[in-house]
């Protein structure tokens, strides 16, 4: 039975990468390329052994679901590396937090332009299903490329609101696992958290949904680790959202 019914919920708030679109793997690959290049140069410069970025553990623990600069900051802190913050308009060639973040953003743009965007058909089916029942929908993403990705995937018309990295920066909202971006989306769409569902594939996103007091938190297990999503606060964990249609 579909747990998302109009008598219980008025809105569903979807993450983007890994939930609606298959872009999480693009981000993971770009993070690895960014940090491996940076760590290799640093290891050569200071004579330390190279410990590459782990695309499973490091990605999941430090950057997945977080705002770009927060992801850079979080991973560097895990390695005991302190870089200047820089500014959002920093050159991607600069070795600052913002410079590295902008370099990663440029990598993502290159891949998206070359390869396009794939959607998870089961997720689109669920979005269409809940909308057909009068339930509103929104996208909540840390990505500043969110609207570009939605347009490229041809699904932007399926959402009433988008709260992305651009909105978070404008409003100075902390990223996931803090619930502020989800709470902002709920406010903009006109629902209270208890009457809204959060759908996430990232641990930080599930934690944000739980911290925000949302009525239902659904974890999408794209990485073969359902227990981590449950332990982080997911009420339900599915492999694909078509299971809920």
- Residues with a catalytic annotation lie at 15, 17
Running DSSP on this structure, what letter comes out for residue 245?
Answer: -
Q: How wide is the angle at C-alpha 160 spanned by C-alphas 157 and 162, nearest 5°?
A: 95
Give CA–CA dist 158/112, Å, rounded: 21
Query: Who contacts 200 (Cβ-Cβ below 8 Å, separation ≥6)?
Result: 15, 19, 65, 206, 208, 209, 217, 218, 219, 220, 234
Question: Sign of torsion, CA 236 161 152 131?
Answer: positive
SS3 of residue 94 by DSSP = coil
41 in Cβ contact with 58 (< 8 Å): no
- Closest among 53, 140, 48, 42 to 83, alpha carbons compared: 42
Q: How far is C-alpha 142 from the chain's CA centre?
A: 5
CB atoms within 10 A of CB 133: 11
């Amino acid at each position: 039975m579909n747990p998302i019914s109009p008598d219980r919920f008025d809105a569903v708030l979807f993450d983007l990468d890994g939930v609606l679109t298959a872009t999480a793997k693009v981000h993971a690959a770009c993070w690895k390329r960014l940090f491996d290049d940076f760590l290799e140069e640093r290891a050569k410069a200071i004579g330390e052994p190279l410990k590459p970025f782990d695309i499973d553990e490091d990605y999941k623990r430090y950057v997945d679901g977080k705002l770009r600069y927060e992801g850079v900051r979080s991973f560097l802190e895990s390695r005991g590396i302190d870089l200047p913050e820089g500014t959002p308009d920093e050159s991607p060639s600069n070795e600052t937090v913002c410079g590295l973040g902008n370099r990663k953003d440029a990598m993502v743009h290159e891949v998206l332009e070359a390869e396009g965007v794939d959607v998870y058909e089961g997720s689109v089916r669920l979005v269409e299903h809940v909308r057909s029942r009068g339930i509103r929908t929104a996208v909540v993403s840390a990505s500043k490329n969110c609207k570009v990705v939605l347009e490229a995937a041809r699904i932007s018309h399926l959402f009433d609101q988008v709260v992305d990295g651009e909105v978070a920066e404008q409003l100075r909202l902390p990223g996931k696992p803090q619930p502020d971006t989800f709470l902002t989306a709920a406010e903009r769409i006109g629902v209270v958290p208890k009457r809204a569902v959060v759908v996430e594939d990232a641990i930080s996103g599930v934690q944000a949904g739980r911290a925000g007091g949302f009525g239902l938190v659904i974890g999408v297990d794209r990485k073969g680790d359902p227990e981590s999503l449950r332990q982080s606060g997911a009420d339900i964990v599915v492999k694909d959202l078509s299971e809920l249609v």
